[in-house]
Amino acid sequence: MAFSFSPKLGIDLGTTTVLVFAPGKGVVLNEPSVVAVSVGTNKILAIGNEAKEMIGRTPGEIIAYRPMKDGVIADYRVTEAMLRYYIRKALGRWNLFRPEVMVSVPAGVTSTERRAVVEAATKAGAREAYVIKEPILAAIGAGIPIHEARGHIVVDIGGGTTDVAVISLGGIVASTSVKCAGNALDHAIADYIKKTFNLSIGDKMAEEIKIHIGSAVPMEEELTMMVKGRDHLTGLPRSIELGTNEVVRAIGKELRTMINAIKDVLQETPPELASDIIDNGIIMTGGSSLLRNFPELVFRRTGVKARTAKDAAYCVVKGTGEALKHLETYKKALISKR
């Protein structure tokens, strides 16, 4: 009898963001996957938004860092604490039942990394933990009918990884995962500004540049933005004006890596599915797919038309919610449960 009360949660455990979805409620939590730890005592001081505010601004004895690296768990203890905090926060204080949890993992995940996710979720208070590969979840969340005998290609670009997969009959036919995504773009922008203008900027500033004026292809009417940082030579604060096409130049190499991942998967695709893909186009999901003109770049490089899914940043987490609702249907796609 008690099983019917078991709440369900879908978790998109990302390198930069953790999203939690509760069926019937939608996305109940959207916070950065950052944890602030005190150096001496190794105590966890803050998690999520509070911890992100501390990045780059902490006194020496507090470090704010991300326990997830490239979509997989880098620091087990901290990830578990983070999961426990988010599960509790999503369920509310008065919940007595242990939830069933569905967690997303990158397509290229190893069985050890997968077990680590299941274990962390179970230890963090889940009664049952399931893991499904991100591209499948992204496809479900983007509203693609994945059980049809037709090929669909999904490109999920998050903070740490870019996952590309061709999906047919509810399974992955061909896929690849590269550790080059949103964070890599931020670093590229920061490096470029340091090299070109002798100006050091923080990760947060780099991300703002990408969001406000970034683009995947050069633009005739450039957007511009004032960039503030520290002069590398004098050590004093200084600001410069930056235009879109400088950003395009800065992130060219990273974008090429992502495009090559898409090309690799297209080259592995069986001919029957390839013709479906030409009809259906490439569906792009994940927060970093929102970079201006990204679909245009994909089209220019692959010849296949691309479009960004609706609510791209929430596709994976919405997919976890859908998959939880219809667990029986998606049993085939589930990789493992405890």
pLDDT in tens, 1-37: 344 567 889 999 888 889 999 888 888 899 988 888 8
Per-residue model confidence (pLDDT) at position 333:
60
Q: Which CATH class is domain 144-308?
A: alpha beta
Q: What pTM did the predictor assign?
A: 0.87
Rounded average pLDDT over 144-173: 91
Rounded average pLDDT over 254-279: 94
Rounded average pLDDT over 312-337: 78
Q: Kindly report, as residue ranges, where domains of CATH 3.30.420.40 are found in the chain.
A: 2-32+71-136+316-337, 144-308
Rounded average pLDDT over 292-298: 96
- The fraction of the chain above a pLDDT of 70, given in percent, is 95
Name the nearest CA neighbour of 17 among 315, 252, 294, 325.
315
Rounded average pLDDT over 131-156: 91
pLDDT in tens, 100-114: 899 988 887 888 888
pLDDT in tens, 164-200: 999 998 889 999 999 999 999 999 999 999 999 999 9
Higher pLDDT: 94 or 226? It is: 226
Q: Is residue 84 over pLDDT 80?
A: yes
Q: What is the CATH number of domain 2-32+71-136+316-337?
A: 3.30.420.40
Of 45-49, 201-205, 334-338, the poorest mean pLDDT is in 334-338
